[in-house]
Amino acid sequence: MSLPPGLPSESLHVRYAETSSGGDHDWLPVISTKLYTNAFIISPGPPQKILLGYKKRGFGAHFYNGFGGKVEAGESPAQAAARELKEECGVEASLDHCGTLLFVNKGGPEWAFQIEIYRADGYSGTLIETEEMRPEWFSAADTRFSETSLTPEVIPPPIPYNSMWPDDIYWIPLLLTKLPFVGRADFDTDTSGRYEMLRWWFGVPSTSL
C-alpha cells in the first residue's frame, strides 16, 4: 500500500489506511506547498477531553479546529506550533509531533497546505479567548455510554465533527490514540462555498504499529 503523491515521505509503508476510491492519477496536481501547524491539547482523563478553538475569523472561520497557522520565515514547524498556540489561546505546552497532512484545493489557492500536527497531554498558563479563537473542551470518548449522573461540567459535549473541516473525522481518532499518521485530501467548493472532499487518504505508517 503506497501513500498518495505530494506527501514529504512518499516512500513510507503503511499498515492501515482509510481512503476514497480512485486511481493514482486522479489526485489534483501539487505545484507547491506552504507549511502550517495545528496543535491539540488532549487531557487524558478519564474522561478524555480535547481542546478545540472556535475560529472567529479568516480561513476556516466558524469551524472548530486545533490552534495553528502559517510557519513564518526562520521558524521551525515546532516553534511555529508553540507560537500559534500561545497567540490563539494564551497557553504553553510541551508539544509532540504526531502527523503530517496535505490539503489541495481545486479552486485555489495555487499552493497545497502541508500541515504539521502536534499534540500535548497538558498545558501551563490560563486559557483565554482571543480575537481569532474561542477555546472549548469536548469529550473525546463516546458520551452515549457515560454514567448519567455525571454533569456536563465533568463530561463536555462530544467532538463537533459537523462544525469542523470534513477531513477531521478521519484523523482525529488517530491523534486521540497517539498513533502517528499521514494523509491527504483534495477539496472543491460547492455552490454555497462549502468545502467538499473529492478524494482522501489517511493512514498509519507501518513502523508505528
Ligand X SMILES: Nc1ncnc2c1[nH]c(=O)n2[C@H]1C[C@H](O)[C@@H](COP(=O)(O)OP(=O)(O)OP(=O)(O)O)O1
User: Looking at beta carbons only, is 3 or 102 nearer to ligand X?
Assistant: 102
Residue 21 CA to residue 26 CA, distance in Å, equals 9
Q: Least distance (Å) from ligand X to the CB of residue 58?
A: 4
6: which residues sit within 8 A by CB, 6+ positions away?
A: 27, 30, 33, 102, 104, 112, 184
Of 115, 172, 174, 182, the one binding ligand X (CB under 6 A) is 115
CA end-to-end span of the chain, whole Å? Answer: 15
SS3 content of the chain, % helix, strand, coil (to 5): 15, 40, 45
Residue 59 within binding range of ligand X, rule CB under 6 A: yes
Among all residues, whose Cβ is closest to ligand X?
69
CB 113 within 8 A of CB 21: no
**Residue 38 touching ligand X (CB under 6 A):** yes
Residue 65 Cβ vs ligand X, minimum distance, rounded to whole Å: 5
> Whole-number minimum distance, CB 146 to ligand X, in Å?
27
Name the minimum Å distance from CB 103 to ligand X: 5
Among 3, 120, 167, 202, binds ligand X (CB under 6 A): 167
Binding site for ligand X (CB under 6 A): 36, 38, 58-60, 65, 68-70, 103, 113, 115, 165, 167-168
